[in-house]
Amino acid sequence: MSILAIGTVAFDSIETPFGSADYILGGSATYITLAARYFTDDLGLVGVVGGDFPEAHLNLFRARGIGLEGLEIDADGKTFFWAGKYHYDLNDRDTLTTDLNVLATFEPKVPDARKDARIVCLGNLEPGIQRSVVAQAADPDFVICDTMNFWIENTPNSLVETLKVIDCLIINDAEARELADEPNLFKAARAIQAMGPRILVIKKGEHGALLFAEGEIFAVPAYPLEDIFDPTGAGDTFMGGFAGYLARVQRYDVAALRSAVVVGSAMASFCVEKFGPERLYDLDKQAINDRIQAFHTLTVIPSVEAL
C-alpha cells in the first residue's frame, strides 16, 4: 500500500552529553520515510531542499526505494538548518538555531503520480501547509498528522482546521496537555479526539506511548535502552514505523493500530541508538522482527488468579 510523507528535509547539528554531530542529514520527512520504507515499496516524499543538499543524500533516499518526485530542489536557496542541544535527562532540549531558508516559502506540490497514496503522513509543519497536502491528495484512506507546541501557541485556529481533516494525531504528552489545556492526560485525550482525530497517539518518550482508538486505550512502554545517544527524530521515526505497518497490513482496525504502535516504538528505539538517522539506514529485517517481539516479552501479563 502506498504512503506519501510530507515534512522537512534538513541539516541538523546536534549536541548531546555523549557527543555531537554537525550538519548531518535530518528533518521529519527524512526520519518518517527511512523508517516506513522497511514496510512498503510504494513510498513518496514531499519536501524542499536547497542547492547545498548533496547528491549523496539524495542517493541515500533513492537507494532505499523512497520516491523523490515530490522533493523540490531550490538551487538558489539553502537547506533548512536546525541546531539543538540535549541535556542529561534527554527528555528536554534547547533549540540553538532554526534557519528556515528554503522552508520559509515552501508550497508543497504533490506529484500526480503520488496523489492516490492511501496513507498520508503529515510531518510537523505549519498546519495550513499540512492541510494543502490533504487537499491535493485523492481521498486517502488514512491521514496521520504530527504537530508541535509552536503551532499550538501561534496558529491555534489553523491547527483546529487541520485536526478536522485528519484521521490520526501523533503528539507528545506535553503537547497533548497544552493542546487540550488539561493536565490529566486521559481527559486531554478525550478533548483532542472531540476536535477531530478519531485516533490519537500520545508519545511519552522513555515512558512509552498511549493509543486512543474506538473507545479503547492501549499502553505500550518504551523499549528498555541502557544507552540513548540521540533522541532526535525518534518521534518522526515512530510515525514512519506506525504508518509503514498499517500500509503493510492494509487495515486500520484497533488491533492493527495497536500493532502499529508497537512497530513505531520499535523503530524509534533503533533511531536513538546512533546520532541522527544513521541507525535507520540499513537495519536487518530480523533485527526489526526481534525488537518487535521483545515488546511482547516486556509486557505480557501472565494469568492472574481471581479473588
Amino acid at 238: F
Positive/negative CA dihedral, 20, 176, 148, 32: positive
Return the residue of 59, 75, 219, 281 that touches its own copies, per CB under 8 A.
219
Which one of 213, 228, 234, 271 is in contact with its own copies (CB under 8 A)?
A: 228
3-state DSSP call for residue 90? coil
Q: Which of 62, 215, 218, 239 is nearest to 142 (CA)?
A: 239
Closest-CA residue to 109 (of 67, 47, 44): 47
Which of 43-51, 66-74, 231-239, 243-251 is the region at the interface with its own copies (rule: CB under 8 A)? 243-251
Q: Which of 56, 76, 88, 181 binds its own copies (CB under 8 A)?
A: 88
Indicate the residue among 3 and 288 with the shorter CB distance to its own copies: 288
Output the CA torsion sign for 127, 66, 99, 238: positive
Tell me which of 142, 245, 270, 275 binds its own copies, using CB under 8 A: 245
> Residue 158 has which C-alpha cell?
489553523
Residue 289 touches its own copies, criterion: CB under 8 A = yes
Q: Is 295 in the site for its own copies (CB under 8 A)?
A: yes
- Only one of the segments 2-10, 19-27, 76-84, 258-266 lies at the binding site for its own copies (rule: CB under 8 A); that segment is 258-266
d(CA 198, CA 156): 19
Kindly tell me which residue out of 11, 31, 39, 61 binds its own copies, with binding defined by CB under 8 A: 39
Contacting range for its own copies; rule: CB under 8 A; set: 21-29, 68-76, 159-167, 221-229: 221-229
CB of 68 to its own copies, least distance (A): 24
Residue 249 makes contact with its own copies by CB under 8 A: yes
Residue type at position 200: L
Work out whether 185 is an interface residue with its own copies (CB under 8 A). Answer: yes
174 forms part of the interface with its own copies (CB under 8 A): no
Note whether 69 and 33 are within 8 A (CB): no
- Sketch the per residue contact string, 267 through 286, with its own copies: x for CB under 8 A, - otherwise: ------------------x-
Among 3-11, 22-30, 49-57, 216-224, which window interacts with its own copies (CB under 8 A)?
Answer: 216-224
H or E segment at 157? helix 156-163
Alpha-carbon distance of 1 to 246, in angstroms, equals 9
Is residue 227 near its own copies by the rule CB under 8 A? yes
Does the protein bind its own copies through residue 220 (CB under 8 A)?
yes
CA distance 43 to 22: 28
Residue 208 interacting with its own copies (CB under 8 A): yes
Alpha-carbon span 105 to 265, nearest angstrom:
33
> What is the chain's alpha carbon radius of gyration, rounded to the nearest angstrom?
18
Does residue number 307 form part of the binding site for its own copies (CB under 8 A)? yes
C-alpha–C-alpha distance, residues 43 and 2, integer Å: 6
Provide, rounded to whole angstroms, the least separation between the CB of residue 132 and its own copies. 33
Establish if 194 lies at the interface with its own copies (CB under 8 A). Answer: no
Q: What is the rounded distance in angstroms from the CA atom of residue 87 to the CA atom of residue 279?
A: 21
User: Whole-angstrom Cα distance, residue 125 to residue 148?
Assistant: 8
Nearer to its own copies, 46 or 266 (CB): 266
Q: Footprint of its own copies on this chain (CB under 8 A)?
A: 38-39, 88-89, 183-187, 190, 204, 206-208, 210, 216-221, 224-228, 245, 248-249, 255-256, 258-259, 262-263, 285, 288-289, 292-293, 295-307
